[in-house]
Each structure stands twice: as C-alpha cells, then as structure tokens.
Amino acid sequence: MAKFEFSCKGKKLTFPVGTGRTIASELLRLQVPIDTVIVRLNGAVLNELNTILDTSYDVTVVEGFDIESILNNQISSLQISDVSGKYLKRHLKINENGTLCLKLNLMSDDTIKNYVETTFFDTVKNEKLFEGTKKIVFGLSGGVDSTTLAYLLKQIPGLEIHAVTYDDFKTENDPMQEFVKEIAKNNCIIHSIISEQEVRNLFNLNTSIKKILPELMETKDYDKAMYIDHHLTRRALEHYAEQNGIQTIVLGLHATDIIAGLINNYTYGYPLQSMPKRSVGKFTYSYPLCYLTKKELKLYLELIGSPHFKSNKVNPWELNPLDRNFYYYLADNLQTVWPDIQYWLIKATQQTLHAEYAFCENCKGSMQVTSNQDCPKLCDVCKIFKEHGYLKE
C-alpha cells in the first residue's frame, strides 16, 4: 500500500495515499502545503509532479510548526458518525493562550436561517452600521447578495430603505428589469432604476457605456474594465443618494468579497480601510453581510423561498483578466484552512490608519490618495476615459 511517512519534531505520522496520483495532489488532499515538506523515495528527493507508486515515501517536514496539531484542526482530519444536517458550519478560534479550537455545527434548515439572520442583525447592532441613520440606499442587482440584503434590511424597524438598480441590462427586454422590480415590491422597498444615460452624463461621456466597456476589452486597459464597471455602479448609487439626501450606502459584500479585496489591497500596497463601516468622501459605506459566506446566503435564500436572478450571460470583463478570480480562489481557500478568518481580518482593518480622499474633477466621485503622491485631478476611471477619447470636450 502506498503511504507517506512523515517525520516532524520527533513524531512519526503515516497517511495512506493513492497510487497513480501525483505527490502534489495527495499533499493537497491532506491539506499539507507543498513547500512545507521534502519527499524522498529510497533517499532520493522527488519533486511533487512524480506519480505515486505502491510503496512508502519518507516525508520530512522542513517548517518548524507542529503539523500534526494543525491538521487535527482541519476538515480533512474530521470523522463524524452523525453527518445529518444540510450545512457544516466551521469556526477556527485562536485562544488567548495560542491554542487552536475548531468548532463544528451541523446545521438544519431552521438553524441555517437563524444563523444568517442572527449574524446579520448582530453585525448591524455591534458595528453600529445604521446608528443615527434614518435612510439608506443599496444596490439591487437581483443576485444572491442583493436579494438577501433586500429581505433582511426590510426587517429593521424605522429604516427608510431605497433600492437602486443601475440600468446596465444586456438587452431592452432583459428579464432582470421586472425581476428587481418584483423583489422591491415584495419587500416594500422604494425602488429606482438609474438609466445608462444618467450615468453617462455623470462621467461626461460622448458615447454609450455599453459600447465603451467591450471596446476597452480590446485595448491595453482591458484589465481595468471590471473596476470601471464597479465604479460606474458606485457613482450611480452616490448620485441617487445625493439627490435624495441619503448619507449611508449599503453594499451586499459577503465574506469572500471582503477577503479577496483585502488580498488585492495587500498585493498592490493600497491603504487599508476600516470595515464594515467606512467613510468614503461624502458618504458612509456599510457592509452588513461581511461575516457571511456566499454559500450561507445562497442556502438562506433557498430556505425562505426567495428567488434570485440567474443570468446565463457573463460579461467578458468578469472573467478576464484572471487576477480577480484568483483572489477569490485564494479567499475561499483561506476560509477552508481558517474558517471565519474574516472576523480577524475585519477587526484588523479597524486598527489601521484611515485612508485620505479627494474628488475627481470630472465625475465628482471620491478617490483614494496617499500622502506620498500629488493629488490627481482625475480618478483612475476618468483618466482611462480621457485617454481613449470618451470624455466630452
């Protein structure tokens, strides 16, 4: 039988492995990082692409951590006799004395529903997201996140809720138009659709946004198209908020959104911003779904019988380039190894310096600036629009 025999801090660990598979695939199955170990067969070092034979391999742990104790707190090591329950909720706690404690909760339908609602309302209360706020606006796209947000926000007493949908519908008869209207109606929420022309005017564009984004995908700035799309939506929300005397903008960012965004910030050296409530220019942005995962939101919607819009068409800038997708992949992997890591990461943002903002001379949107740069006149999006000749003279 093929097996890995680990040597770690004087301990011997043995794991059966599959023949015909690569060393890398079996290490990853065991949740052992590849660069943590050196694998040998009969004394010869093997790289991780070697195929496993029906024999024993010596695996030396080169890092100094106690891999046995860590693996005991990973899902790959769990064996539970009673696996009833639709969802396995995991939470890895690091105690004050440095010990690890993996908590498990096999959730039934009622437990899932209660967990999502309790987490949402605790976040609103504990983070004081709407303290002193009477009116809010949120973006309603009809997807999992914003549909969940609509259902939960309506349960907050005394809060005037406005939902805004930016009209980036793919066709005139796009069914999403009626779908988002129905969600708002069912949840008794004030709903408005911001037309593409309104957003076009905000940015002083000389042509259609539906024309600009596909064209940008054919230029050197193709990798900015997703960011531009998000910025257009953000400005649509801010424009509506400004017209209606609303200071608080709510976004349905879930845990993976937050973690992926923080990875992006760390990678490029952007200043960290306090979450899940932060000031951006003239507005306060709040993220009440920040501690919940997409999986939890999806299960919740299914349980309450609330549909969400499922588009069969994906914009090319949502998949290309791959870096944003990779950040999400990393974020989900982090949550696999450290379930609920978002609690620690979000708390860390609250202990960092606040970012500074200036305002774009064209779209009037706020833009983040750092102390070591001269204040630019245009935000990054409007710079690209100007470079490609999309701004009016």
Question: Model-level pTM?
Answer: 0.87
The pLDDT score that the predictor gives to residue 391 is: 95
Q: Using an 8 Å Cβ cutoff, are 56 and 5 in contact?
A: yes
In contact, 14 and 25? CB cutoff 8 Å: no
The C-alpha atoms of residue 262 and residue 258 are separated, in whole angstroms, by 6
Buried residues in 111-131 as b, exposed as e (16+ CB within 10 A): ebeebbeebbeebbeebebbe
Query: What DSSP assignment string belongs to 182-219?
Result: HHHHHTT-EEEEE-HHHHHHHTTBSS-HHHHHHHHTTS
Q: Which domains does the chain have, with CATH numbers?
A: 3-71 (3.10.20.30), 111-387 (3.40.50.620)
pLDDT at 171: 55
What is the distance between the alpha carbons of residues 268 and 216, in angstroms, rounded to a whole number?
Answer: 22
Q: Residues 233, 234, 239, 244: is their CA dihedral positive or negative?
A: positive
Edge-first strand order for the sheet with 283-286 is 190-194, 160-166, 135-139, 248-250, 283-286, 277-280
Sequence-distant (≥ 6) Cβ neighbours of residue 336 within 8 angstroms? 75
Contacts for 10 with CB less than 8 Å, ≥ 6 apart: none
Task: Say whether the peptide bond before residue 16 is cis (omega within 30 degrees of 0).
Answer: no
Kindly report the CA angle at 234 between 170 and 384, in degrees rounded to 5?
Answer: 80
pLDDT at 66: 85
Contact 285, 249 (CB under 8 A): yes
Order the strands of the 44-46 sheet from edge to edge: 11-16, 3-8, 56-61, 37-41, 44-46
pLDDT at 11: 83
**Residue 162: CA atoms inside 13 Å, Cβ hemisphere, count?**
22
Q: How far is the CA of 295 from the CAs of 92, 110, 207, 261, 299, in angstroms? A: 18, 16, 39, 18, 6
pLDDT for the residue numbered 354: 57
C-alpha–C-alpha distance, residues 40 and 5, integer Å: 10
The number of residues making up the chain comes to 393
The pLDDT of residue 245: 96
User: What pLDDT does 330 receive?
Assistant: 95
* pLDDT tens digits in sequence order for the chain, 393 residues long: 899 999 887 788 999 999 999 999 999 999 999 999 999 999 999 999 999 999 999 999 998 888 888 888 887 667 776 778 899 999 998 888 888 888 999 999 999 999 999 999 999 999 999 999 999 999 999 999 999 999 999 999 999 999 999 887 555 667 788 889 999 999 999 999 999 999 999 999 999 998 999 999 999 999 999 999 999 999 999 999 999 999 999 999 999 999 999 999 888 887 778 899 999 989 999 999 999 999 999 999 999 988 776 666 778 888 877 888 999 999 999 999 999 999 999 998 887 655 678 899 999 998 887 655 567 899 999 999 999 999 998
pLDDT score of 371: 55
> Using CA atoms, how far apart are residues 93 and 341, in angstroms rounded to an integer?
9
